[in-house]
Amino acid sequence: MAYIMKALITGSNGLVGSALKKILGENHVYHTRQDADLTDEIQTKEYVKNQVENFGVDTIIHCAARVGGVQANTNNNQGFFLDNYLINNNILKSAYEFNVPNFVNILSTCIFPDKEITYPLTADQIDNGAPHPSNYGYSYAKRLAGYETKIFRNLTKGNWINIVPTNVYGPCDNFHLIDSHMIPGMIHRAFLAKQNNEKFVIWGDGTPLRQFIHSKDLAMNILWALNNWDSDNHFMAINEEEVSVMDIAKIITEKFELEENQLVFDSSKPKGQFRKPAKTDIPSDYNFVGLRQGIYETIDWFIKNYSNARK
């Protein structure tokens, strides 16, 4: 079991990092891009060294990543691979060099193979084949980080773990109209549809099924796993409820009070895999944030912080 004296959260302004900050409070180190460019090996090494030697950091929760939705990944697989490989390798090597005893590496269910798998997804299937072509750059970079975390765990005998969440959503996300993940992108388009009395366009046909976890739930279970997950197997942080893209669209439409005829589908846009349900390692008595509540809260945050939100 880990006893955290002082944690360093990379990517603390992002979706997951900001949720951890809200739970942990101010007595920790919250990295942002302005503090150190994690794609730069020298900057990363000096930054981690300083936090460990001068501020007593004994835990790194690595949330920083270059992320994007299906279209952003499809258009630039090479860029997503290179940036994430550099970020992950630099922070992992630095944590190892400066003897950080606790390390949490955040992955994604996109690392799973596109084929040669059985549902629900389980951690032992990751190496069964290639990921979906739409995001193989990001996915392979994340897979490599997972292997590297295991290698350093074996070398250090420390509390180094990998966590695989399903689709994460919540406040402080990236709401870009093109490059974001599904829920924040839909929220932004619905906001503009309401403002301008325009159509609310949904990518694809609305049929794909997905599992979602609120950033608060993921943050809570990262901390639970840090203190309880004593295995080199990946910890699957999954809310097992499956919902369709259409279900998400209806919740967002209702919150913005859009007319039914404003909701349209664009089949020319990518929709990704039809479904990819995964099995969870989260304790069965954990109470998740309800999807409708979580989306409503995310919309409220976006409207309140519209001028400063990433978009």
pLDDT of 257 higher than 60? yes
Which pLDDT band holds residue 274 (cuts at 50, 70, 90)? confident
- Token duo for residue 182: 């599904």
The residue written with tokens 């809260």 in the block is 297
Q: What is the mean pLDDT of residues 212-221?
A: 98
* Domain range annotation of the chain: 7-174+211-241+276-288
* pLDDT for residue 132: 85
* pLDDT for residue 260: 82
Q: Of 298, 280, 276, whose CA–CA distance to 240 is shortest?
A: 280
pLDDT of 1 higher than 60? no
Q: Pick the residue with more confidence: 149 or 116? A: 149
Which pairs count as long-range contacts for 287-291, CB under 8 Å and 24+ apart, including other chains? 288/213, 288/214, 288/217, 288/239, 288/241, 289/214, 289/216, 289/217, 291/212, 291/241, 291/243, 291/247, 291/248, 291/251
Report CA dihedral (128, 134, 136, 141) to the nearest 10 degrees.
-130
Which pLDDT band holds residue 248 (cuts at 50, 70, 90)? very high
140-197 tens-digit pLDDT: 999 999 999 999 999 999 999 999 999 999 999 999 988 788 899 999 999 999 999 9
Supply the pTM of this predicted model. Answer: 0.94
Q: What is the mean pLDDT of residues 249-260?
A: 94
Clarify whether 138 is annotated catalytic: yes
CATH class of 7-174+211-241+276-288: alpha beta
| Mean predicted lDDT score pLDDT of the chain | 93
Q: Of 59, 239, 91, whose CA–CA distance to 167 is shortest?
A: 239
Amino acid (1-letter code) at residue 204: G
Q: Which of 30, 47, 136, 138 is catalytic?
A: 138
9-54 tens-digit pLDDT: 999 999 999 999 999 999 999 999 999 999 999 999 999 999 999 9
